[in-house]
Amino acid sequence: MADFSFRNAPNRPLDRPFHGAGGGADLSERKDIDDRFKWKLELIFPDWESWEACFAKVEEALPGLAAFQGTLAQSGAGLLATIEAIHIEQRELEKALVFAGMKSDEDTRIGENTARKGRVSSLAVRFSEAVSWFESELLEIAPERLQELIAEEKGLALYEHFFHNIHRGRAHTLSAEQEALLASAGLMARGAGQVFNAFDNADLQFESIDDENGNELALTKARYYKFIKSRHREVRQAAFNKFLDAYGGMRNTLAANMDANVKNHVFFASARQHEGTLEAALHPDGVPPQVFHSLVDTVSGNFDTIHRYTVLKKRVLGLADLQEFDLSVPLFGKGEFKFEYDAACTMLMEAFKPLGEDYLKTVKGGIDGGWIDVHENVGKRSGGYSNGVYDTPPYILLNWAEQLGDTFTLAHELGHSMHSWLSVNHQPYVYGDYPIFTAEVASTFNELLVMDHLLKTSDSPERKLYLLDYHLSQINNTVFRQTMFAEFEHRIHVMGEEGQTLTADSLGALYQELLHKYWGPEAAFDIVRSPLTWTRIPHFFYNYYVYQYATAYSAAVALSRKVLAGGDSDREQYLDILRSGCSKYPVETILLGGVDMATSRPMEDVVALFGSLIDQVEELLD
């Protein structure tokens, strides 16, 4: 990593896109869930007393870290000692961050855990302030002198890519005093995201609805994702209406919060003299902006193929008006099947066999060894993620509801966790992390292996139709929908760069425009509720995060086809991508597998795959 930031910490977990849970009154309390289905956070700290000791140790070290300022150019040994001292405390701080964050996520109602999460977040800001001078001072060292320091201290050779990454940001790094000021603003910069997280996970309340059997149930996020796929149209319409009405009641507040979020990104992009927010967001990972623009342009140039999916949905469902609440319902419900958690784990071990025995052994060890928090409980954070740091297991949060989607979520998050495990076990700390850009390749790759396995082992035409539609839905949600989100995100940031104030009306109008653009003329949208959908997407606070789902999927398609069709060398070439951590820039890392993300070819291949899946469905129907 080029800076001293926090890898996969609770403010930036590796998330499964938009799969949720909630806090209904009839859910289990956490204490009533079998320990076998809970993650073992005691592998990080046995208790809060140990956490407090770690907190105090880092806090006490901050003055010493700040005292290194002004010494970097004196000697190679001194430069190495400074880096190692900072990394020692950073590693401890990262453990404290993820522990507090995940304990809070277990039950967001527990105020003292929320307070501890806030305390360690404040400590992280103070840590950043204490070392904020580092990059500015390193950049003040003339390149010739830096090479002399590396030559006199052979231990610095390890950090050459680290140094290069910092020097790449020379034009965007400020003086030590200015860097300290920006670092001190870090806590405020998280404000909009923290506000949304508190609203979305702790305070948001949904009304009850009647299920298919007329039973009144509390609507939760996990249940919403179930109800929106119901074969009963009145159930999915009621779920859609109640769900968005809960957010819509706060639309003006949420719009003001989004405006603050965008203005925050604009401020930091401007302060660091980037051309715009997109360039600022892509800069840390060295991703060329043309990768983003190629994605949006290629998808926009292939709407004819994408809109075939809407036509297919309308045909199979037999609806004269295909509404937004109809878009998620599976087209071939008779072929639907589900997995209990243990059965899903067994199936995944079969699907992952192309990745080799070592991969399988580690996955099994993680499943049995406390990596995974499985079931929904009252107050638990929504969604699914993989979260961990260099010195912790790569934990996984789930909210299991026995849908097939939960199985794919588990495969997805195991991809992230195995990426973390391979990176940590093959790279030193400085390169033991990886950017989201490559992270989503590992997770999506696993999903593609699962789909391939299920299609090969299913000989029922009904189940094949169900799986083909599920595959279409995966591509639509992971590629085309994320591209729509990416375009929305970019356009609201451009509005912010132009000095416009984002309002509920302007955000809703833009979102409605994009819904029509991406779904095509065969879909109809509620003029009241559909424009509210942006209000419930947490990823808009992650700063140009979502486009990477789409780019990663296209890379994963190419890489998984190679592994499935190839031999040991193809598998090892793919695993080398995961083992490389952040020792290379992400586009360069993906090139290890022969995929160039700066071109339109990977996305064109995904569009072609999407069209071929529609062809297969139509052939089975005809």
Of the ranges 208-212, 254-258, 438-442, which is most confident?
254-258
Inter-residue contact 161 to 583 (CB < 8 Å): yes
Look at residue 91 in the predicted model and tell me its pLDDT.
98
* Domains held by the chain: number: 1
349 falls within a domain: no
Q: What is the pLDDT of residues 512-562, one digit of tens each?
A: 999 999 999 999 999 999 999 999 999 999 999 899 989 999 999 989 988
Q: What is the span of the domain harbouring residue 186? A: 14-196
Instruction: Report phi then psi at 216, rounded to 5.
Output: -80, 125
**pLDDT exceeds 60 at position 578:** yes
332 falls within a domain: no
CA 415/CA 346 separation, integer angstroms: 16
Find, among 89, 87, 96, 133, the residue nearest to 430 by Cα: 87
Q: What is the pLDDT of residues 298-316, one digit of tens each?
A: 999 999 999 999 999 999 9
Look at residue 521 in the predicted model and tell me its pLDDT.
95
**24-28, 122-126, 134-138: which has the minimum mean pLDDT?**
24-28
Of the ranges 168-177, 188-197, 572-581, which is most confident?
572-581
397 falls within a domain: no
Q: What is the pLDDT of residues 360-400, one digit of tens each?
A: 999 999 999 999 999 999 999 988 999 999 999 999 999 99
Active-site residue, 413 included: yes
In SS3 terms, 520-586 reads as: CCCECCCCCCHHHHHHHCHHHHCCCCCHHHHHHHHHHHHHHHHHHHCCHHHHHHHHHHHHCCCCCCH
62 falls within a domain: yes
Q: How far is CA 517 from CA 299, 310, 513, in A?
A: 11, 12, 6
284 falls within a domain: no
The pTM score is 0.79
CB within 8 Å of 95: residues ≥ 6 apart: 44, 45, 54, 389, 391, 392
**pLDDT exceeds 50 at position 6:** no
Q: What is the pLDDT of residues 317-353, one digit of tens each?
A: 999 999 999 999 989 988 888 999 999 999 999 999 9
The CATH number for 182's domain is 1.20.140.70
Instruction: Report phi then psi at 274, rounded to 5.
Output: -85, 155
**pLDDT exceeds 80 at position 123:** yes
156 falls within a domain: yes
CA 531/CA 141 separation, integer angstroms: 52
Other C-beta atoms lying within 10 Å of the C-beta of residue 115: 12
Token pair listed for 273: 């003299």
123 falls within a domain: yes
Instruction: Report phi then psi at 15, rounded to 5.
Output: -95, 145
Catalytic residue among 89, 129, 324, 413, which? 413
CA 203/CA 205 separation, integer angstroms: 6
User: Kind and range of the H or E element at 169?
Assistant: none
Look at residue 14 in the predicted model and tell me its pLDDT.
53
Look at residue 616 in the predicted model and tell me its pLDDT.
92
CB within 8 Å of 21: residues ≥ 6 apart: 220, 221, 222, 376, 380, 381, 382, 383, 399
**201-205, 259-263, 416-420: which has the minimum mean pLDDT?**
201-205
**pLDDT exceeds 90 at position 184:** no
DSSP state of 109: T
Instruction: Report phi then psi at 473, rounded to 5.
Output: -65, -40
Look at residue 15 in the predicted model and tell me its pLDDT.
54
E-strand ranges in 215-346 read: 216-218
**pLDDT exceeds 50 at position 441:** yes
Look at residue 183 in the predicted model and tell me its pLDDT.
82
Give me the chain's average pLDDT, please: 92
558 falls within a domain: no
Look at residue 436 in the predicted model and tell me its pLDDT.
82
